[in-house]
Amino acid sequence: RRKGTSIKSSDILIAPPQRPIFFVPQLKKSSSEN
């Protein structure tokens, strides 16, 4: 049970940073087209 929690914690930490990174480039590209 301890290993499962550790993996979930890592997933949560990696998920937030990856989402913003993908949104930043998309927003910048949209601004360039505008």
Q: What is the pLDDT of residues 5-30, one digit of tens each?
A: 666 666 666 655 555 566 666 666 66
Q: CA–CA separation, 25 vs 14, rounded Å?
A: 18
- The CA distance from 34 to 30, in Å, is 6
At 22 the pLDDT is 61
pTM of the model: 0.20
Domain positions in the chain: 1-34
Cα separations in angstroms, 2 against 14, 15, 18? 19, 20, 25
Residue with tokens 């940073």: 17
Whole-number pLDDT of residue 24:
66
pLDDT at 5: 66
